[in-house]
Amino acid sequence: MHEFEWDKVLFLEKGKKGLHRVIFGRTLLILLSFLIQFGVFFVIFTLLSQYLTVTVGAYVLFIAVIQLIIVNNESNPAMKVSWIVVIMVVPVVGGMLYLYVQLNLGSRVINHRLSELYEITKKYVKKNPETVRELKEISPSTANLAEYLANNGNYQVYQNTRVTYFPLGEDKFKELLIQLEKAEKFIFIEYFIICEGYMWGRVLKILEEKVKQGVEVRVMYDGFNTLTYLPAHYPQNLEKLGIRCKVFSPIRPVFSTTYNNRDHRKVLVIDGHTGFTGGINLADEYINQKNRFGHWKDTAVMLQGEAVQGLTQMFLHMWNITEKDPVFEPYLNPALNHYVGTMKLSKGFVIPYGDSPFDDEHVSKLVYLDIINRADRYVHIMTPYLILDYELMEAITFAAKRGVDVKIILPHIPDKITAFALAKTHYSELLRSGVHIYEYLPGFVHAKGIVSDDEKAVVGTVNFDYRSLYLHFEDAVFLYQVPENAEIEADVQETLKKCHEITMEDVKHEKFYMKLLGILLKVLSPLM
């Protein structure tokens, strides 16, 4: 544990926490508003259902049309099955709800805006023909993956970058404070969770000082925080310190399906030459200052050099969704990387990339599939959640069946019992195919990543579940032939020493309520 240095911690507001916040805060009003709206929808749908039953033909036609729409939709097959089950159980209500979700205009507006921003940044973030040519000579298949990422979000491949891997949140936090102190031009922060406490207090104290020195500071966090960690007026508190602040998709007392699409990214950029990402949010449990689910195992990566341009671009995409006149050039200028020329840079290739739930391109899933399907010797995965669709399950089990050493590390102490139950529904099939499953005995694994054959690795925010792969904004870094991949594999091996390997006996003796919960939830897991 770190020794607390409260004189270096800045609190803007020690808000009410937990149940007290829910009962007495804005959260209760929002929840009550949602319940009222659901109640109104339910009454309308029920009355409509009763009316339709008078005319059996109209009722059957409505259900048939909805089912045809679902079957012909280009969404994931598992999601189609879930919707069909819902409509079978509550036909009219389920059908109307499906139409409401599919006609959601908010997501289309955001996707259109992001497409515009992708095009704008192509003027500043450009392909390096020499880097692409070298990668193609070494590995045509990896060059093809790089081409796909470049064509879907303008995520380019870089060299001349120093990569630093952090096997724990504490390691990242220590280096983060050092790098923040060096900031001279700008600091961009985009996190899913920011929670007042030791970690955020230390960071905020530095940000306050940097603003006084003339450094531009922007902070963006997900609207989920307004229900759990931060008050609704927290952006105004930061603005008073000179910090520009935005809340992505703030939760308001009006029901919208866009609330299901969260900004799950964790991006921090300093002066355009140093950037961080990984699973670690800005809250005390991520650095084991707070014990929630035993020891918190998380990972992160720091980039210094050319590849930071990719992280900067991602932040500016999200920040400028609501800006009329976005400014990119001062922040995407390659000259910002001049000082790293004196550093020892990593060999290999680095591709920072993002994923959007609105563009029908499942980038994160396809990167994982590409690594798994091309593995020759081993594929090692760390993830807090394991809720696999058909394609990922098929790829993982086939890899094991063809002799690839497949290992998956999961938590032993879960943060969500529902997600844990769903993960366990996969255990039997995975074990029968030869996949090795491990649970981290000291506590909770929040790390998200994969390493394969000493050549390829991904460190980022992307879980192996439907929410990350289909519903959230995510980011990650693909590392090819980077020497630091050996450190990622070494971390996997060190973590395995603290794990229990799951056997078929463990599966047989699993608690009945856990098995039942998994069975009941599995049909709806793609919609959760």
Q: Are 305 and 101 in contact (CB under 8 A)?
A: no
For residue 13, the one-letter residue type is: E
* pLDDT digits 0-9 by tens, 137-178: 999 999 999 999 999 999 999 999 999 999 999 999 999 999
Q: What is the pLDDT of residue 2?
A: 47
Has residue 380 got a pLDDT over 60? yes
Q: Which amino acid is at 274?
A: T
DSSP state of 355: E
Q: Is the pLDDT of residue 406 over 50?
A: yes
226-249 tens-digit pLDDT? 877 898 899 999 999 999 999 998
> Do the beta carbons of residue 150 and residue 156 sit within 8 Å?
yes
Structure-block tokens of residue 27: 């959260």
Residue 54 — very low, low, confident or very high, per pLDDT cuts 50/70/90?
low
- Cα 485 versus chain centre, distance: 21
Rounded to an integer, what is the distance from CA 189 to the centroid of its chain? 15
The pLDDT value recorded for residue 267 is: 98
Reading the block at residue 92, the tokens are 């009219």
Secondary structure class of 162 (helix, strand, coil) = strand
Q: What span, in angstroms and rounded, lies between the C-alpha atoms of 207 and 10?
A: 10
Between these two residues, 260 and 480, which has the higher pLDDT value? Answer: 480
Residues 413, 415, 419: CA angle, nearest 5 degrees: 100
pTM: 0.88
